[in-house]
Homo-oligomer: A and B are copies of this chain.
C-alpha cells in the first residue's frame, strides 16, 4: 500500500482557461429539421431581404398618409374604396390621391400607398366610401421589404447552437440545409477490476456495475456529443495503454473513468503519460481532486476520479465545455440556474472549489431554499436526488445559513 500521490494541482478556473485543445470536428451539412442544437460552422447570411415586400402589419386600409392628415372623430377624412388586396398575391389595385384599398394583416402594400390605417379607426358608412378618424404617418402599419432581414445580414451566427427561433428565421429565408460541426465522438473507457457491464444480471461479491459510463453518456448527449462505449479494462497498464490507443484513434475526446483504488489511478496516469502530454494531474476541487487533463496526438483526454459522483461533477464542469468547444461552440447556452437561500451552514476549505449537491424547494412566498445533501461522495443516489449544485469558490472558507446562493440545476 504505497503510492501516495503528488498532484500538480490546478484550479477549475485555470483548467477552463488554460486547457483549450485546438481540435474541432469536421463540417457537415444537415437538413434544417435536424439542426436544432447543432453549431453552424460559419455565419449564415440572407441572400434576399425579408419579408421581401412592403407588408401590412394590421387589418385596415392602405392609404396615402397625406390623405389622413387632420382626420378626427369630428372631422373624418373620406376616401374612395378602390378595391381590396388579397393575401399572398400581388395587388391588382393602385392607391391614388383620395382613394384607399382594404388590406389584411400580412398582405402586400399596393402601389401608391405609404401607410395602413387600422380598421378600428375607420368606418365604411356608405358602400365604396371609407371614413378615417385618425391620421397616420408615412410607414405606419407597414413593415418595409428589408425590415426583418436585409440582404447579406447574418441570419444565424457561427459558434452558437441553433435554437428554435433560428430554425424559423432560416426557414423564412428558404435555407433548407445548414453546415454545422459534426457531433464530437466521445470515447468512454472504464477501468477497474471491480467494474462489470451495467447489463450484468447477477453480481458476485465485490463487483459493481458500470454506472459512470451510462451517466457520462447522458451528459455527453446533452452537450451535443456522440458517446461511444470503449469498454471496461482491468487495472493493468498494458491493457489500459492498448485500449487507450484504440480509443484515441477513433474519437475526438477520450474520457477515462478510472478505477477507484490508488493503484488504478496510478496505472491510468502512467498509461496516459506514455501516450501524450499531461496538462494537469489534480484539481483544487471537491469532489474531483484526482482529475487528469492531457492531450495525446491532438486528442484531448480527461481522466476522471474513480467514484461516480466525483466523476460526474468533474465532467459537468470541464467535460461539457470541452465537448461543446470541439463542436465549434464558442457561445455555449447558459445552464439553468435558480437563486436560493442556503438552509444551513456549509464548511469549506479555502483554496479549493467545493461543489455541493442540493435539493431546492420553493417556499410559499416564492423564494427558494437550497438544502445541502451530505453523505459519502461515493453515493450515486445523492446525485440522483439532487436538484442541482452550488459552488463554494476557492477563497471562501464556507457559507453561512441564509446566504443567497446560485444553484446550477441538473437539466
Contact = CB atoms under 8 A, between A and B. Distances in A.
B105 A260 contact: yes
A201 to B, nearest CB: 7
A86 interface: yes
A204 interface: yes
Contact of A214 (B57, B168, B260, B312): B168
A262 B379 contact: no
Given A172-B209, A208-B172, A337-B337, A167 B218 contact: yes
A345 interface: no
A222 interface: yes
Interface string A58-84: 011100000000000000000000001
Nearest to A170: B214
A235 B107 CA distance: 13
Nearest to A388: B334
Q: Which of A105, A193, A201, A376 has the most chain B CB atoms inside 10 A of its CB?
A: A105
Interface string A75-117: 0000000001011111100000000001011111000000000
B194 A88 contact: yes
B165 A384 contact: yes
Contact of A36 (B57, B153, B163, B222): B222
A195 interface: yes
A305 to B, nearest CB: 10
Nearest to A386: B165
Interface in A96-145: 102, 104-108, 119-120, 122, 124, 143
A148 B89 CA distance: 67
Given A106-B192, A106-B306, A156-B384, A168 B88 contact: no
A174 B170 CA distance: 44
B338 A36 contact: no
Interface stretch (A48-56, A273-281, A296-304): A48-56
Contacts of A339: 339
B102 A52 contact: no
Contacts of A199: 174, 176
Interface residues of A, number: 109
A213 interface: yes
Contact of A208 (B51, B208, B263, B380): B51
A411 interface: yes
A176 B306 CA distance: 22
Nearest to A197: B171
Interface in A240-295: 259-264
B206 A89 contact: yes
A325 to B, nearest CB: 19
Contact of A167 (B215, B338, B378): B215
A72 B198 CA distance: 43
A200 B174 contact: yes
Interface string A370-382: 0000011011110
A209 B174 contact: yes
A165 B410 contact: yes
A384 B169 contact: yes
Nearest to A215: B168
11 contacts: A52-B205, A55-B378, A88-B194, A90-B205, A106-B259, A155-B381, A163-B411, A169-B383, A169-B384, A172-B208, A334-B338
Given A33-B217, A169-B381, 16 more contacts: A36-B218, A36-B221, A52-B203, A55-B378, A87-B263, A90-B206, A106-B260, A147-B376, A156-B384, A165-B380, A167-B214, A168-B211, A171-B215, A172-B208, A174-B203, A174-B209
**Leading 5 A-B pairs by shortest Cβ distance:** A168-B215, A164-B218, A104-B261, A88-B194, A171-B198
